[in-house]
């Protein structure tokens, strides 16, 4: 595996690969790798000839009061993990390489960025995500890019950028990877002390309870079931909302696939999670979820 620092180096490597007819897969990350990141790398390795992983803590998607300065960083550990997964190139640029002096361009996606995390974290967040991902697509020119379904809203934002700007890249979203107790893996889980770590499992349990209500046909009990679990755990959610899985419009009746999304501060960490609530019968749900994960795709970028 090569660790490259400059855009010119990455472009030269990709140019050589494409000239040889090799396919290119990209996994955009902010580092602090966990099993969720590694699952994306494995998917990219299985499906592409050249695998590029970007490691860049993107400053433009953090607000002044967020954890940019304390976000976990360990490049040597990340590099060893990526190499063990067969990654070919780790692109680890300095901020000035991505945002040189005079940088003045911003990608804004209207509508779907103004709710959920966009409302909680501010409009800068998804503007920063959309801008850096667009830059990475322009630098790496991947055939396929891989994201995690834990960041479901981010996946939809990236898909919209690709669609609206006619970018020639296929987006694959991979299923959420969870700890044995159900907690969604996240780089920010390292902020949790033992008490908060136990409390945080309530997020997935709340989503499970809502899913159970949905499967039982209790349309009016979906959100109350989730709220009850969070309340019992002493968690006051930033949001707990049922949204259309493609448009993020609010829904009250699940007539199309919907996402139940939650965000909450638990101890020192702000955590997010989601479940897909399928509009199909229980017997079809597993098959459809698997299909969405592998063909359309499903956090951390």
pLDDT score recorded for residue 282: 42
Query: pLDDT tens digits for 53-81?
Result: 999 999 999 998 899 999 999 999 999 99
Average pLDDT on 254-269 reads: 96
* 296 assigned to active site: no
Nearest to 207 by CA among 234, 188, 183, 189: 183
Beta carbons within 8 Å of 10's beta carbon, 6+ residues apart: 4, 52, 89, 91, 139, 140
In tens, the pLDDT along 249-260 reads: 999 889 999 999
Q: In the chain, what is the greatest distance between 2 CA atoms, to the nearest angstrom?
A: 58
> What are the residue ranges of helices labelled H in the chain?
7-19, 35-47, 75-84, 95-98, 117-121, 124-140, 152-164, 194-215, 222-232, 282-291
Q: CA-CA distances (angstroms) from residue 232 to 31, 225, 260?
A: 34, 11, 19
Q: Match 């140019």 to its residue by tokens.
A: 15
Instruction: Give the number of C-alpha atoms closer than 13 A to the C-alpha of residue 296, restricted to the C-beta side.
Output: 13
Q: Which residues contact 13 (CB under 8 A, 6 or more apart)?
A: 2, 4, 50, 89
Report pLDDT for 65: 87
Catalytically annotated residue among 34, 37, 108, 227: 37
pLDDT at 280: 63
pLDDT digits 0-9 by tens, 42-52: 999 999 999 99
d(CA 209, CA 222): 8
């Amino acid at each position: 595996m090569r660790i490259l620092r400059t855009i010119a180096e990455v472009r030269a490597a990709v140019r050589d690969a494409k000239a040889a007819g090799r396919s290119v897969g990209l996994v955009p990350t902010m580092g602090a790798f966990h099993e969720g990141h590694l699952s994306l790398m494995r998917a990219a390795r299985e499906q592409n000839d050249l695998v590029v992983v970007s490691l860049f803590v993107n400053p433009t998607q953090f607000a002044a009061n967020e954890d940019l300065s304390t976000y976990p960083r360990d490049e040597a550990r990340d590099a060893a993990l990526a190499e063990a997964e067969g990654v070919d190139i780790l692109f680890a640029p300095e901020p000035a390489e991505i945002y040189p002096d005079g940088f003045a361009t911003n990608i804004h996606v209207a509508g779907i960025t103004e709710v959920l995390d966009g409302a909680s974290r501010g409009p800068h967040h998804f503007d920063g995500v959309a801008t850096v991902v667009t830059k990475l697509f322009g630098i790496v020119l991947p055939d396929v890019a891989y994201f995690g379904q834990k960041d479901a809203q981010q996946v939809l934002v990236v898909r919209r950028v690709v669609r609206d700007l006619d970018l020639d890249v296929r987006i694959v979203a991979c299923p959420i990877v969870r700890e044995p107790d159900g907690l969604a893996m996240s780089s920010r889980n390292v902020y949790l002390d033992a008490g908060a770590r136990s409390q945080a499992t309530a997020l997935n349990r709340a989503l499970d309870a809502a899913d159970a209500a949905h499967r039982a046909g209790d349309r009016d009990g979906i959100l109350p079931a989730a709220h009850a679990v969070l309340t019992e755990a002493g968690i006051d959610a930033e949001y707990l909302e049922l949204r259309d899985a493609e448009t993020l419009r609010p829904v009250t009746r699940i007539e199309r696939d919907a996402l139940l999304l939650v965000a909450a501060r638990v101890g020192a960490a702000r955590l997010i999670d989601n479940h897909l609530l399928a509009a199909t019968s229980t017997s079809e749900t597993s098959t459809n979820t698997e299909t969405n994960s592998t063909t359309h795709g499903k956090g951390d970028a």
